[in-house]
Amino acid sequence: MSNKVFVIDTNKHPLEPCSPTVAKKLLKAQKAAIFRQYPFTIILKKAIGKQELKKCQLKLDPGSKTTGIAIIQENQLIWAAELTHRGQQIKDDLESRSSLRRGRRVRKTRYRKPRFLNRTREKGWLAPSLEHRVLTTLTWVNKLIKFCPIDSIATELVRFDTQKINNPEISGKQYQQGTLYQYEVREYLLEKFNRTCAYCGVKNVPLEVEHIVPKSKGGSNRISNLTIACVPCNQSKSNRDIKDFLAKKPSLLKKILTQAKAPLKDAAAVNSTRWKLFKSLKETGVPVTTGTGGQTKFNRTQQQLEKRHYLDAACVGDTPDLKILTREPLLIKCGGHGQRQVIHVDKHGFPRLNKTGNQVRKSAHIKQVKGFQTGDIVKAVVARGKKVGLYLGKVAVRSSGSFNIKTLKETVQGISYRYCTSIHRKDGYIYGFVPKNFHGG
């Protein structure tokens, strides 16, 4: 069960997606040509009359590390993808540059003087690592709107309803006693404690919400007084105070108490970008609806679906009986567009590679080697030698003609350009969704 194929007419207007079998027949009969490899899109060679199209709904499950994308047509999941962000890499790179600049200011070396007067931030400013999540998601939304007749967008506006978690009475007892409330709290705690028992660390077993300070001894229902535990640990602790229960394990006691009060980093990242993403989606001109993470989990649990980002996206908002037509989502990983630094430094901040002005100008003009450019998606069929096999991934070109191919799992070095075929030009992403016999898919 693979994704459906996007179809556009000769004027590049989106038509109704077709099955891979139909797309193969159109390509074989030369009635269509491949327009784009990722997402796979074909373009018809002859104009067709006006058709009444079945509209599709685009659903998003925004995440701190991975965003789930799903397209629903008549309650059927016809296309799915999982978009992996690189926000943490951006944050680490900026912190590294900041520390290196700070180090140069205290040493007798060349440094850039600190500037303050031109650092005014605009209203609604987000950190680059957070802005990246919004822009990348929006980029793919705009791409899919061009290739598919999408008439509405549904997205999770909040992963966790933190106000209702901290104060269940905020909207009255009706919400507190409702079905979704327990899903909000449970999902928050599962994410916070990495879906493991806080006391014994066991995984892949039924877990229960547990009070750190028992209610019988004055404990509250606030999220800072809750943790997640397996059934044996929960029953063993019973209504004892956690200090008595873990009297012989002071390090574990300290860890649980600290973790219970700590904010959830990933949830904070999602909450920081939710409104910016929501407003950006509305600017596309397509009607936008929203849902919560608790509602998503409720829908997924009711339909007995596994925990996957693209399935979470399919369950956002209202989901009547959903039929899953694809189990092979397109895997998209943000790879960036390379570095533009003139001087590369080691971990101590000292130059390890210094390009001269001529080298910089020369490298700016020479972008392609043997018809390939760093960042292109290539397929390499190696028929002999130590690296026999099929490889699909992002290429790094070398003037010698011996390339490196970066797949989703590894980097394969020393692949000759003679074995490579370009299937997708550089756009800053690394793609999966390959046959099982490909390496690193």
Count of residues for the chain?
Answer: 441
CA–CA separation, 142 and 232 (whole Å): 49
Distances (CA, A) of 77 to 15, 149, 189, 329: 17, 15, 29, 11
Contact 89, 133 (CB under 8 A): no
Per-residue tens of pLDDT for the chain, all 441 residues:
688 999 999 999 999 999 999 999 999 999 999 999 889 999 999 888 788 888 899 999 998 889 999 999 999 999 999 999 998 889 888 888 888 777 777 776 666 666 666 677 888 888 899 999 999 999 999 999 999 999 999 998 865 555 555 554 444 444 444 444 455 677 778 877 888 898 988 888 888 888 888 888 888 887 788 888 999 998 988 888 888 888 888 888 888 888 777 666 666 777 788 888 999 999 999 999 998 887 888 888 888 888 899 999 999 988 778 899 888 899 999 988 877 676 777 777 677 765 554 454 455 445 788 889 888 889 999 988 888 999 988 898 988 899 999 887 789 999 999 999 988 888 888 887 544 433 333
Strand 368-369 and strand 288-292: the pairing is: unpaired
Output DSSP code: residue 40.
T
The CA distance from 236 to 199, in Å, is 11
What is the value of pTM for the model shown? 0.72
User: Beta 377-382 vs 389-396: how paired, if at all?
Assistant: antiparallel
Q: What is the rounded CA–CA span in Å between residue 241 and residue 219?
A: 10
Residues 6+ apart with CB under 8 A from 344: 351, 352, 353
Q: Which residues contact 69 (CB under 8 A, 6 or more apart)?
A: 58, 59, 60, 61, 80, 81, 82, 83, 140, 144, 310, 313
Which residue, 79, 94, 71, 74, is CA-closest to 38?
79
Please name the amino acid found at residue 418: R
Distances (CA, A) of 134 to 273, 276, 277, 281, 286: 7, 7, 5, 10, 17
β strands within 236-311, DSSP E? 288-292
120 burial level (CB within 10 Å; 0-12, 13-18, 19+): exposed
- Taking the C-alpha atoms of residue 438 and residue 380, their distance in angstroms, rounded to an integer, is 10
Strand 207-211 versus strand 41-44 pairing type: unpaired
Query: How many C-beta atoms lie closer than 10 Å to residue 137's C-beta?
Result: 22
- Tokens standing for 74? 């008549």
* Segment 72-75 long-range contacts (CB within 8 Å, at least 24 positions apart): 72/314, 72/322, 73/17, 75/319, 75/320, 75/321, 75/322, 75/323
Task: Tell me the C-alpha to C-alpha distance, in Å, between residue 356 and each of 343, 347, 352, 435.
Answer: 9, 21, 13, 44
Q: Collect contacts of 385-391 with beta carbons under 8 A, ≥24 apart.
A: 387/412, 387/414, 387/415, 389/439, 390/435, 390/437, 390/438, 390/439, 391/415, 391/438, 391/439, 391/440
Backbone angles phi, psi at 282, to 5 degrees: -65, -30
